[in-house]
Amino acid sequence: MIEIRELTKRYGGTVAVDGLSFEVRPGAVTGFLGPNGAGKSTTMRVLLGLDAATSGEALVNGRRYVELRRPMREVGALLDAGAVHGGRTAFDHLRWLARSNGIGTRRVAEVLERVGLAGVARKRAGGFSLGMRQRLGIAAALLGDPGVLLFDEPVNGLDPDGVRWIRGLMRGFAAEGRTVLVSSHLMSEMELTADRLVVIGRGRLIADTSVRELADRFGRGVVVRSPRPAELTGVLAAAGGSVEAAADGALTVTGLDVADIGEHAAARGIPLYEVRPRGASLEEAYMRLTGDGAEFGAVAP
Amino acid sequence: MRDVVAAEWCKLRSIRSTFAVLSVAAGCAVLTWLIAFQAARAFDGLSPARRADLPLRPIQELGPWIAGLCLGILGVLAATSEYRSGTIRASLVAVPRRGRLVAAKAVVVAAVALAAGEAVTLAAVIGTRLAIGGQPFTDQTGSLCQDLPAFAVEGTSVAVFALLGLALGLLLRSAAGAITIMVFLWHIVPLLAFHLPAPWDARTGSVLPGALATQAAGLDADDSIYGDLLAPPVAAAAMAAYALLPLCLAALLFARRDA
């Protein structure tokens, strides 16, 4: 269980996180989404006690992270896969981490086995590929067999096999009843991994919803084009649909399906140029949600 | 706390730079033997008057002097290697109580530096005595047992430099900056202080970190660039201050700064 309450973090004059509140419950994978610079990593860093909150609080299992006595037994975190001393072997890297939380050496061998690094345990981490470092980071997160797992952009730089492996791993953790929070800037990835979504932009909460709700909210409706849009709007509204007009003259109708719309239009003799169910992907939904929230928006020429 | 100290010990001995630094420190002990051997041969051909001007002690003191720089660098690296590689975040996620992390680092660095410092110092003293092969150097007439306590005190200066290095590393978070300041404190500032007009040369030269161990052992500065104005207890207190005050300041800042 993770609780973020009215969290604000300022770096000098820059507000990275601005009054953010949300909860992450056990038994599900929660995707933490937002464009680059939205405040995802900052939120995670405050949650882990790396950065101090300007105001508000971030709690793990009801307590601040710094109050946890053996934190790795409660929370496993993958923050930055590159954060390994290149001169240390994979085994030594995990061994000092394990020692700091009173975890035995046998567990080190176990997690190395689990992430598939047992064969290179005695090799220096400096020679590891990004994918191997990512696996080493996940092994570190698993050392204390924690009930809460935090992954910051875990699939960055992974090949398709690695991506699928991590996806399965996270789904497995959630199925075991653990709390899993995964940050990403890729909606397409979260669509496949997450059950719930927390979407932020410019440090503020944009949406706290399930993947299904979000798809329904943005994915439904029928796009209709007609030379007589005003008349058609009246007809469809009278038939119980709600109609939104876009700038290009297309109407988005919800509450009526393609057949309804065709029949109502035919009954009044209104010509239709196009009738198609809108297939908005979550990707589009996400783009629309975060359109104003992106920190560095590119301007079209 | 025991777990955290064990983890820091694990960290320190699983990187190569630790062994590189310790090897250089050990190498400088061997160097003192070679220089003493050379000095003993020169001693043979000297007139009795010149012989009185050729003490062996400065050669023996090269041991703790160079070891101080080596272990000071080890102290710096104990902090900055974490910042350079980014493992500082892993360390703080594993041990979120920052005071505890700094204390554990200090315990491990001080213990290693003390062991290395005493080993190099004693090796330098005993080795040079053997290397001169019974030549009657004026300052080597006492028995080894009489001289050793003073040298053991000098060996502790290595731990002072190591803790100073750790503090500098934590404060600056960059090896280049911290090692530069270390080298300044270790040798450049004493050289500059030596050229100050009297009485400031001796006054300044007495309170520099490299000057304190000799004074704490109750010895004179002789021909060195340092002064010897402090009483042994005062010098010992000053050593403790050099070791702990910068470290406390670093720990305070470390606890407040975002990692």
Kindly report, residue by residue over A101-125, the tens digit of the pLDDT: 999 999 999 999 999 999 999 999 9
Per-residue pLDDT reduced to its tens digit, B140-161: 877 888 888 888 999 999 999 9
Q: Provide the number of CB pairs (under 8 Å) joining chain A to chain B.
A: 86
Closest CA–CA distance from residue A93 to any residue of chain B (Å): 8
Q: Which residues pair with A24 in a beta bridge?
A: A2
> In chain B, which stretches have pLDDT less than 70?
none
- Residue A95, Cα to own-chain centre: how many angstroms? 30
**What confidence category does residue A299 fall into, taking pLDDT thresholds of 50, 70 and 90?**
low
Contact flag B3-A100 (C-beta cutoff 8 Å):
yes
- Give the one of B11, B17, B96 whose C-beta lies nearest to A65's C-beta: B96
Residue of B nearest to A77 (CA): B93
Neighbours of A240 (CB within 10 A): 10
* CA A178/CA B121 separation, integer angstroms: 55
Q: Quick one: pLDDT at residue A219?
A: 61
Question: How many structural domains does chain B have?
Answer: 1
Is A135 near chain B, with CB under 8 Å?
no
pLDDT surpassing 60 at residue A295: no
Is A140 near chain B, with CB under 8 Å?
yes
Is A77 near chain B, with CB under 8 Å?
yes
pLDDT surpassing 80 at residue A286: no
Show the domain range for B235. 2-256
CA separation, residue A57 to residues A20, A198, A219 (Å): 10, 17, 35
Q: Which CATH architecture has domain A221-277?
A: 2-Layer Sandwich (3.30)
| Interface-testing mutation among A17, A41, A100, with chain B (most B C-beta atoms within 10 A) | A100
High-pLDDT (> 70) share of chain B, %: 100
**What confidence category does residue A239 fall into, taking pLDDT thresholds of 50, 70 and 90?**
confident
B195 phi, psi to nearest 5 deg: -95, 5
Nearest to A196 by CA among A164, A170, A165: A170
Query: By the 8 A CB rule, do B225 and B190 touch?
Result: yes
Contact flag B258-A79 (C-beta cutoff 8 Å):
no
Residue of A nearest to B93 (CA): A48
Query: What is the average pLDDT value for chain A, to the nearest integer?
Result: 88
**What confidence category does residue A281 fall into, taking pLDDT thresholds of 50, 70 and 90?**
low
pLDDT surpassing 60 at residue A212: yes
* CA B196/CA B209 separation, integer angstroms: 17
Is B255 near chain A, with CB under 8 Å?
no
- Give the one of A52, A84, A100 whose C-beta lies nearest to B7's C-beta: A100
Sequence ranges of chain A with CATH classification 3.30.70: 221-277
Neighbours of B19 (CB within 10 A): 10
Per-residue pLDDT reduced to its tens digit, A140-182: 999 999 999 999 988 877 888 888 999 999 999 999 999 999 9
Which residues are CB-contacts of B257 (< 8 A; sequence separation ≥ 6)?
A: none
pLDDT surpassing 70 at residue A279: no
Lowest mean pLDDT among A72-76, A205-209, A249-253: A249-253
For every residue of chain B, which 3-state class applies, written as one string?
A: CHHHHHHHHHHHHCCHHHHHHHHHHHHHHHHHHHHHHHHHHHHHCCCHHHHHCCCCHHHHHHHHHHHHHHHHHHHHHHHHHHHHHCHHHHHHHHCCCHHHHHHHHHHHHHHHHHHHHHHHHHHHHHHHHHHHCCCCCHHHCCCHHHHHHHHHHHHHHHHHHHHHHHHHHHHHCCHHHHHHHHHHHHHHHHHHHHCCCCCHHHHHHHHCHHHHHHHHCCCCCCCCCCCCCCCHHHHHHHHHHHHHHHHHHHHHHHHHCCC
Please determine, looking at this structure, whether the domain spanning A2-209 carries the CATH number 3.40.50.300.
Answer: yes
Q: Quick one: pLDDT at residue A220?
A: 67
Nearest to A84 by CA among A43, A122, A128, A144: A128
Tell me the one-letter amino acid at A47.
Answer: L
High-pLDDT (> 70) share of chain A, %: 94
Per-residue pLDDT reduced to its tens digit, B207-256: 888 888 888 888 877 777 888 888 888 999 999 999 999 999 999 999 99
